[in-house]
């Protein structure tokens, strides 16, 4: 997992061949863009624009992926995102290849609690179990872009 400011994203572009395109999109993202899925480089690099309301941690499932990594950027609002080692989690919904997701119960081991707000980004790989969309002081409207990047291109 990596967490930093979007303004520092050029420092991470060499970590994956698709990161320059991904971060260029994120740095120039227009908040008026409608919710939906946008291909940036075929199915290898996809932006998912989403608006939602945060919820309690009890109401948000943990997840991890196998084929794609995530770059998550919040453009409006503030949310918590849990993070822990995927291998310490207990599967509640087995892996669904079409959605590239496996869901987990809340961990019993220590976790990190990230705060993501305007200007932050987090990068998650398959070993990164994560729980996005968790409210901080109460429900909040979020505008987020999740970039799905194919791990092996």
Q: What is the pLDDT of residue 111?
A: 87
Q: What is the pLDDT of residue 108?
A: 83
Q: What is the DSSP string of 65-130?
A: -SSEEEEEEEEESEEEEEEEEGGGSPEEEEEETTTTEEEEPPPSS--EEEEEETTEEEEE-TTEEE
Interatomic CA distance for residues 68 and 29, integer angstroms:
21
Q: What is the pLDDT of residue 138?
A: 96
* Counted domains in the chain: 1
Q: 151: which residues sit within 8 A by CB, 6+ positions away? A: 67, 68, 69, 125, 126
Interatomic CA distance for residues 41 and 23, integer angstroms:
13
- Tens digit of each residue's pLDDT, the chain (153 residues): 999 999 999 999 999 999 999 999 999 999 999 999 999 999 999 999 999 999 999 999 999 999 999 999 999 999 999 999 999 999 999 999 999 999 999 998 778 999 999 999 999 999 999 999 999 999 999 999 999 999 998
- Domain encompassing residue 137: 2-150
Q: What is the pLDDT of residue 109?
A: 78
Q: What is the pLDDT of residue 89?
A: 95
Q: What is the greatest pairwise CA distance in the chain?
A: 40
Q: State pTM to two decimals.
A: 0.96
CATH number at residue 116: 2.60.120.370
CB 92 within 8 A of CB 103: yes
């Amino acid at each position: 997992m990596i967490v930093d400011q979007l303004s520092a994203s050029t420092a991470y572009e060499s970590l994956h061949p698709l990161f320059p395109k991904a971060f260029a999109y994120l740095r120039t993202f227009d908040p008026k863009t409608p919710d939906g899925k946008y291909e940036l480089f075929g199915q290898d690099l996809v932006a998912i624009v989403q608006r939602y309301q945060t919820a309690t941690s009890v109401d948000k499932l943990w997840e991890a992926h196998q084929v794609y990594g995530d770059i998550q950027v919040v453009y409006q609002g503030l949310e918590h995102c849990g993070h822990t080692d995927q291998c310490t989690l207990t599967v509640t919904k087995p892996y669904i290849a079409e959605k590239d997701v496996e869901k987990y119960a809340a961990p019993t081991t220590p976790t990190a609690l990230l705060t993501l707000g305007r200007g932050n980004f987090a990068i998650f790989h398959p070993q990164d179990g994560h729980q996005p969309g968790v409210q901080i002081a109460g429900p909040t409207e979020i505008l987020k872009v999740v970039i799905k990047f194919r791990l092996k291109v």
